[in-house]
Amino acid sequence: MSGVKIALDVFGGDLAPNVNIDGAISILKEGKFDLELYLVGKERVIEKLLHERGFSHEKLHIIDAPDVFGMAEKPSAVLRKKDTSLYRTAQLVKEGKVDAMVSAGNTGAVLAVALFVVGRIKGIERGAIATPIPSKKGFTVLLDCGANAEVRPEHLRDFGKMGYHYARLLGKTSPKVGLLNVGEEEEKGTKETKAAYELLTEALGEDFYGNVEGRDILYGDVDVVVTDGFKGNVAMKAIEGAAKFISDVLKSQIKASGLAGILGGLLLKNAFLRLKKTLDPSEYGGAFVLGVKGIVTKAHGNSNALAIENAIKVAYEGVKGRLVDKLQEEFWGD
């Protein structure tokens, strides 16, 4: 496949539209990807921002959308606001005019357009937000990260199957899937998690690792961790907070140690830079909304230009890796 077409919701996100424009420009300047970008939003504003940056490109297109869906609006309202940049971005995927979409907008609204505009894959009842979390062995895919506060055991089974294929797309040859629980023993957990354990065992066989605890997300002994959206979102935000805490403590302790600390910090500068890069959410760009009939990539609401650029790369790899096709084959075969 060549010429991947990706639509970007230019007015989605806390720092929109500037960071979205800058992220789009950056990836096109990089020139490593065979893609066309469709910038969706207020046409005159987009043209003005591109002109200010002195940038034009034959593979950059503007799709006018006169309205903006706010970060604090009720998510279900997006389905009535068809002139917003978010809705029209999803519509381009639905109509097959693009292969994927990227948005840093309202999470609930992105999920709504993914499920009800792009549409669910046959056989999948619930979509899930899947996020790669840095671990000792590279990354662990965590899902669901906020799409479904409450789920049934069969939903967790489906999340496991979707997460398995996503991990393979990311380079894991034989991913191991774990079920987030309060202990590793099979008998631990609620009635729902016990039922999910049985369903995951049946669906994944030896690829199901069993129950895992919160610490296992970072240890990396499993490649995928499955849970409901409430616990998944809490876990993800706790990990992000811990990473920022560690970084802040290191900086303050180095400063407090005087000249010796500063010299030691300079000697370890490269190690600190690598640590920062590993823990920086911007480096991972975006999370897939799995279970829908198109590549939908959700970038963090406070994404900077680097995060938007990387979210576009995530969407690109999803198209190239035929992720949707593989999920359709998996679930249609049930």
| Cis, bond preceding 144 (omega within 30 deg of 0) | yes
| Cα distance between residue 222 and residue 282, in whole Å | 23
| Cα distance between residue 140 and residue 23, in whole Å | 25
| Cα distance between residue 81 and residue 190, in whole Å | 40
- In this predicted model, what pLDDT tens digit does every residue of 218-227 receive, in sequence order? 888 899 999 9
Give the model's pLDDT for residue 97: 96
- In this predicted model, what pLDDT tens digit does every residue of 43-87 receive, in sequence order? 999 999 999 999 988 899 999 999 999 999 999 899 999 999 999
Mean local confidence (pLDDT), 133-162: 89
| Cα distance between residue 86 and residue 91, in whole Å | 9
pLDDT band, residue 22 (cuts 50/70/90): very high
* Tokens 């099979």, residue located: 186
Mean local confidence (pLDDT), 267-279: 54
| Residues 185, 327, 123: CA angle, nearest 5 degrees | 85
Mean local confidence (pLDDT), 134-156: 88
Of residues 280 and 187, the one with the higher pLDDT is: 187
The domains located in the chain, with CATH, are 1-124+291-334 (3.40.718.10), 127-281 (3.40.718.10)
pLDDT band, residue 334 (cuts 50/70/90): very low
**Beta-bridge mates of residue 8:** 39, 102
Mean local confidence (pLDDT), 100-122: 93
Entry pTM: 0.83
- In this predicted model, what pLDDT tens digit does every residue of 143-152 receive, in sequence order? 988 888 889 9
